[in-house]
Amino acid sequence: MNKEFLATLGQLERERGLDRNMLIEGVKEALTVAAKKIAKVSYSDAEVKVEISPTKGDIHVYIGDKEIVSQEFGRIAAQTARQVIIQKIREAEKENIYNEFKNKEGSIVGGVVYRLEKRAVILDLMGKTEGIIPNSFLSPLDNFKLGERTKAYICEVKRDKGFQIILSRTHENLVKKFFELEVPEIYEGIVEIKSIAREAGERTKVAVFSKDEKVDCVGACVGMRGARVKNITYELRGEKIDIVRWHEDVKEFIKAALSPAVVSQIELDRENKRVRVIVSCDQLSLAIGKRGQNVRLASRLVGWEIDVRSREAIEEEAKEISSLKSVGKMTAQALIEAGYANLGMIVRATPEALSKLKGVGKKKAVQIIEESRAKLQAK
């Protein structure tokens, strides 16, 4: 029994997490290479065969019908065997690390900033391997220093000159995973994240729903004195987070998504998943948000196209439609009720679509579109 050989296999299994059968196959390959060197010198083209007992550790090398002993390998043959074994071990370690992180795709990993490059930030991941955060996957708030600890979302683990781990600090699921870590009710499945809309480095809206009436989904995510959401905001370097209550009723969901603005009226176009939201003049800027961010995020959160208008603006647009020479009072009302609330929407319509309205033929539809276009150009 080769106790030393078995002890080495056991050590490699424990310390490096390598599979014993894979190691034995590596040793067989290495010894075969070494034995072939001898065969070329001493045994012509004789066949080389290696047998290893996985339980006893006994090693037998045959060239042709003759078994050769270790002394016959020589210094060069032994070196070859060692090199092949070392290479196999390295390959196996890389494969193990690849499989480990491949299984972690879609999760969060912690690391230390190891290198700052022009196009990416390189993280040391638990001392095992490196992860890459391309600049396009960095939040505008990220400003890393060497040795700094951070967390990122594993987007993809791909084979490329070994393998690459692509990380992200901008992915919407990064926020989702942070909530799963911070909020036990989400991890346990009591509270569910229905949708997320994010503009990394600025604002994120999260829609949540509770499966238990006794559990307040928004309160659970915010935490006592805001502790839970503050921890997530800290991880995102100060990015603002709005937590809204998800509703099966799309009107109620849209109202929640547009908070803090107060909505006066909602008109749905279910076929095209479009909605017109009417607010008072003093709520318009809140509903739209800075550079349109609030309504844009709300639209993505709900999955509907949202058009926010003030009541005063709608009244003004209705007057413009009524002022068209080709449009009477009844036709103007029909256009507005059909969703053609302003001249721009009429111009984008087709004569075929307008001609379906009561009292509007194809010829008149063309006149309405042309007059609306001329009025917009005059503006």
Domains contained in the chain, number:
5
My answer on whether 221 and 131 are in the same domain is no
Residue ending a domain, choose from 78, 102, 126: 102
Token digits of residue 253: 């969901």
Total-model pTM? 0.72
314 belongs to a structural domain: no
My answer on whether 126 and 152 are in the same domain is yes
Residue ending a domain, choose from 278, 308, 338: 308
How far apart (Å, rounded) are the C-alpha atoms in residues 245 and 258? Answer: 11
Nearest to 179 by CA among 168, 170, 187, 169: 187
Q: What is the pLDDT along the chain (379 residues), one digit of tens a residue?
A: 466 667 777 776 777 666 777 777 777 777 787 777 766 655 566 788 888 777 777 777 887 777 776 555 545 444 554 666 677 778 878 888 899 999 999 999 999 999 999 999 999 998 889 999 999 999 999 999 999 999 999 999 998 777 899 999 999 999 999 999 999 999 999 999 999 999 999 999 999 999 999 999 999 999 999 999 999 999 999 999 999 999 999 999 999 999 999 999 898 888 889 898 989 888 999 999 999 999 999 999 999 999 898 878 777 777 888 888 888 888 888 887 777 777 888 888 888 888 888 778 888 888 888 888 888 887 6
- What is the pLDDT at residue 312? 80
Q: What is the 3-state secondary structure (H, E, C) of the chain?
A: CCHHHHHHHHHHHHHHCCCHHHHHHHHHHHHHHHHHHHHHHHCCCCCEEEEECCCCCCEEEEECCEEECHHHCHHHHHHHHHHHHHHHHHHHHHHHHHHHHHCCCCCEEEEEEEEECCCEEEEEECCCEEEEEEHHHCCCCCCCCCCCEEEEEEEEEECCCCCEEEEECCCHHHHHHHHHHHCHHHHCCCEEEEEEEEECCCEEEEEEEECCCCCCHHHHHHCHHHHHHHHHHHHCCCCEEEEEECCCCHHHHHHHHCCCCCCCEEEEECCCCEEEEEECHHHHHHHHCHHHHHHHHHHHHHCCEEEEEEHHHHHHHHHHHHCCCCCCHHHHHHHHHCCCCCHHHHHHCCHHHHCCCCCCCHHHHHHHHHHHHHHHHHC
114 belongs to a structural domain: yes
My answer on whether 166 and 179 are in the same domain is no
My answer on whether 162 and 180 are in the same domain is no
How far apart (Å, rounded) are the C-alpha atoms in residues 171 and 137? Answer: 8
- What is the pLDDT at residue 141? 96
Contact between 205 and 298 (Cβ < 8 Å): yes
153 belongs to a structural domain: yes
**Taking CA 213 as the corner, what is the angle to CA 208 and CA 216, rounded to the nearest 5 degrees?**
45
- What is the pLDDT at residue 78? 46
Q: What is the CATH number of the domain that holds 59?
A: 3.30.1480.10
State which residues form the domain around 272: 247-308
315 belongs to a structural domain: no
My answer on whether 187 and 232 are in the same domain is yes
